């Protein structure tokens, strides 16, 4: 569980991007942060990971206060964190298999054979075929790159999984596959997953706990089932922007 | 003000680079790759430039020192000492600042803008140490070999002038390159080049590591790396020469 308490963040130019945000990201659930571009979603995620220093407030990983940790403690904590980046961020000088092996080689005390076995297990788990293991990231599709990135993120059996726009640049079918993969992994390995997303299909599909951020303020929190009955104009404008979802909403009300 | 900020940030980065690697085996896996990529891959350009500069230096020295009061072997001596003292260490390093510096800055810069460095940091890896230390150490190890090869090939270039033209005889040239040889100049040249190897790779890494934005910033980082490392090399050339050659 990750707990965020009264978090404030102001940029160097004086713009306050996060205003007194408090929320809980629960374990075993897909926690989604949604909001318009520039609302502060990415800053919130980066603050939780510790890439941005917050002005005030508290971020606790299962009771461990991030602000009180020394740099080497943060680095140890980060070994419990998996991250799926918007652009996959695969190491382009390494093959698919080597990318997944990389965190294992850095931090695991397993033998070479055991590491190979774990990497192959992770790649198989995200439905990648053996023949793609030797390919370079530039030789595989965007959807496959995302799957390799997920395999790399879960290689060290993380407690926390962060996903930044996991569906950006993917077609709707592949997006759905990636969404379900993240959801399954979250349930199967009992991970605290935080997803920063614009994609309303994802929100409707796998949003166990949804946090809506508007101009740096947490404006609403609930599940995908609650979202149809919310009286929040900004949230409704974002979620039900398309005609399709307007009709879905009507049907649900 | 920017200069002071940059110097401060450079030293803070170096403090993160020069620590014990997270995993020694990962360092020793990267190290030979960098020896090959930064050192061996630079060999062709070092050889080509050195042989031509050695030849041209011999021709020009001979043509400009045609004087009955000066012995003919002075050409070989001047060629040798110029190669030893300045060309193979300083000028070659300026050329390598262009080749190696831009390569390092663009590689690390691209990793920065494609979030590969962020990915490492989130895994809990000291990315500065993992990426930069093998490059700096590998190039510092390779540089003395490149300098010695450059000196040798430059002298061969001068010899070829004697073989293929009638500007100077090979015998006179060979006497010249052996005359009044001071072995200390070789040490001076090697020590200087090791310092320059450190400057080239560390400055380029600094600019690559701090690249922000898109492809344009990688280009900018690459240009800044080459320009600034060249200026720093010229400055330290004076400092080291003053320390090692003046009495």
B73 within a domain of the structure (yes/no): yes
Chain B residues 126-155 with CB within 8 Å of chain A = 126
CB contact B36 to A (< 8 Å): no
* Per-residue pLDDT, A165: 85
Q: What is this structure's pTM?
A: 0.86
List pLDDT tens digits, range B45-59. 999 999 999 999 999
In angstroms, the CA B73 to CA B177 distance is: 8
CB contact A75 to B (< 8 Å): yes
List pLDDT tens digits, range A114-150. 999 999 999 998 888 899 999 999 999 988 998 899 8
What mean pLDDT is predicted for residues A12-22? 90
B24 within a domain of the structure (yes/no): no
Contact (CB, 8 A) for B81 and B185: yes
How many domains are contained in chain B? Answer: 1
Quick one: what percent of chain A has pLDDT higher than 90? Answer: 39
| Residue B119 Cα, gap to closest chain A Cα (Å) | 7
**Chain B residues within 8 A of A76 when measuring between CB atoms:** 124
Q: Which domain holds residue B218?
A: 50-239
CB contact A107 to B (< 8 Å): yes
In angstroms, the CA B114 to CA A89 distance is: 6
CB contact B247 to A (< 8 Å): no
| Inter-chain residue contact A106 with B116, CB threshold 8 Å | no
Of A78, A89, A92, the CB nearest to B124: A78
| Inter-chain residue contact B123 with A85, CB threshold 8 Å | no
B17 within a domain of the structure (yes/no): no
* Per-residue pLDDT, A118: 92
- Residue A92: in which H helix or E strand, if any? none
B231 within a domain of the structure (yes/no): yes
* Per-residue pLDDT, A223: 86
B87 within a domain of the structure (yes/no): yes
B247 within a domain of the structure (yes/no): no
B38 within a domain of the structure (yes/no): no
- Interface predicted TM-score (ipTM): 0.81
Q: How many CB atoms lie within 10 A of CB A111?
A: 9
| Inter-chain residue contact A87 with B114, CB threshold 8 Å | yes
In angstroms, the CA A215 to CA A41 distance is: 10
Residue A87, token pair as written in the block: 């652009």
Residue A6, token pair as written in the block: 């009264």
B23 within a domain of the structure (yes/no): no
In angstroms, the CA B156 to CA B174 distance is: 10
A104's CB contacts (< 8 A; 6+ apart) are A110, A115, A118, A119, A155, A156
List pLDDT tens digits, range B89-147. 999 999 999 999 999 999 999 999 999 999 998 888 899 999 999 999 999 999 999 99
Of B23, B25, B122, the CB nearest to A78: B122
Domains of chain A from N-terminus onward = 2-80+160-252 (3.40.50.300), 90-157 (no CATH)
């Amino acid at each position: 569980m990750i707990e965020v308490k009264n978090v404030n963040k102001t940029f160097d130019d004086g713009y306050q991007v996060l205003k007194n945000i408090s929320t809980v990201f629960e374990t075993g659930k897909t926690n989604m942060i949604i909001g318009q571009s520039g609302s502060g979603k990415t800053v919130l995620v980066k603050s939780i990971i510790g890439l941005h220093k917050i002005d005030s407030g508290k971020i606790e990983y299962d009771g461990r206060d991030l602000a009180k940790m020394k740099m080497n403690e943060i680095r140890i904590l980060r070994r419990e964190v998996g991250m799926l980046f918007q652009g996959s961020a695969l190491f382009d000088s390494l093959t698919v298999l080597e990318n997944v092996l990389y965190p294992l080689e850095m931090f695991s005390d397993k033998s070479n054979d055991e590491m190979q076995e774990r990497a192959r297990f992770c790649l198989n788990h995200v439905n990648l075929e053996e023949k793609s293991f030797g390919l370079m990231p530039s030789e595989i599709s965007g959807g496959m790159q995302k799957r390799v990135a997920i395999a790399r993120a879960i290689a060290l059996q993380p407690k926390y999984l962060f996903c930044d726009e996991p569906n950006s640049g993917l077609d709707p079918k592949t997006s759905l596959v990636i969404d379900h993969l993240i959801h399954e992994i979250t349930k199967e390995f009992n991970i605290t997953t935080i997803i920063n997303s614009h994609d309303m299909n994802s929100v409707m599909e796998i949003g166990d706990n949804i946090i809506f951020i508007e101009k740096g303020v947490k404006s609403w929190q609930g599940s995908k089932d609650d979202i149809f009955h919310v009286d929040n104009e900004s949230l409704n404008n974002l979620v039900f922007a398309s005609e399709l979802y307007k009709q879905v909403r009507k049907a649900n009300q | 003000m920017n200069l002071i900020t940059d110097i401060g940030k450079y030293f803070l980065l170096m403090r993160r680079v020069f620590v014990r690697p997270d995993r020694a085996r990962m360092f020793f896996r990267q190290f030979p790759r960098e020896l090959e990529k930064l050192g061996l891959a630079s060999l062709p350009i070092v050889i080509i430039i050195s042989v031509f500069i050695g030849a041209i230096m011999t021709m020009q020295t001979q043509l400009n020192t045609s004087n009955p009061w000066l012995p003919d072997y002075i050409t070989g001596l001047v060629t040798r000492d110029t190669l030893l003292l300045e060309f193979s260490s300083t000028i070659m390093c300026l050329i390598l600042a262009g080749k190696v510096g831009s390569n390092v800055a663009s590689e690390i810069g691209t990793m920065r803008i494609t979030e590969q460095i962020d990915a490492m940091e989130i895994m809990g890896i000291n990315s500065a140490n993992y990426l930069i230390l093998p490059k700096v150490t590998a190039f510092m190890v390779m540089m003395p070999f490149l300098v010695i090869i450059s000196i040798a090939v430059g002298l061969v270039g001068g010899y070829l002038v004697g073989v293929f033209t009638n500007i100077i005889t090979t015998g006179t040239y060979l006497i010249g390159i052996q005359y009044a040889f001071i072995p200390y100049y070789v040490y001076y040249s090697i020590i200087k080049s090791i310092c320059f190897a450190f400057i080239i790779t560390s400055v380029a890494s600094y600019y690559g590591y701090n690249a922000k934005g898109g492809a344009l910033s990688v280009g900018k980082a690459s240009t800044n790396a080459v320009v600034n490392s060249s200026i720093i090399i010229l400055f330290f050339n004076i400092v080291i020469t003053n320390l090692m050659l003046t009495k």
